[in-house]
Amino acid sequence: MSGESRVPGLVAVVVSMVACLPSACCLGFYAFGNFATLFVDPEMIEAAAGSQPLPPLSTFVVLGAVSTLGVLVALGLAIAGLVWGIRALRRESS
């Protein structure tokens, strides 16, 4: 078992844990916030916006849908990288 043969597996595990999973979490909170805005009283949104123009509610739907798609992609990459990395590391140790 050489150190060079373990590098791709370790890189896959680290990238999935450091980059993909936190990205999925952040995008998930953003998507949840956009979809939760749809259930809030419109007057409360207007009061929070202050003098700024209020975007239409369809904007929140589109942002939530795009964020959800990003969550699914990041989570899929994280799980695939984690599984592949662990399998590669276990294969090298046997």
Q: Token digits for 55?
A: 């975007």
**b (16+ CB within 10 A) / e for 14-50:** ebbeeebbebbeebbebbeebbebeeeeeeeeeeeee
Q: Please name the amino acid found at residue 30.
A: Y
Average pLDDT of the segment spanning 66-80: 95
For the stretch 21-66, pLDDT in tens is: 999 999 999 999 999 988 888 888 888 888 888 888 899 899 999 9
- The answer to whether position 2 is within a domain reads no
Alpha-carbon gap, residue 21 to 45, rounded angstroms: 31
- The answer to whether position 50 is within a domain reads yes
pLDDT at 86 exceeding the cut of 80: yes
- The answer to whether position 30 is within a domain reads yes
- The answer to whether position 88 is within a domain reads yes
Task: Please name the residues in contact with 38: beta carbons below 8 A apart, sequence gap of 6 or more.
Answer: 57, 60, 61
State the total domains in the chain. 1
pTM across the whole model: 0.79
- Provide the pLDDT for residue 26: 95
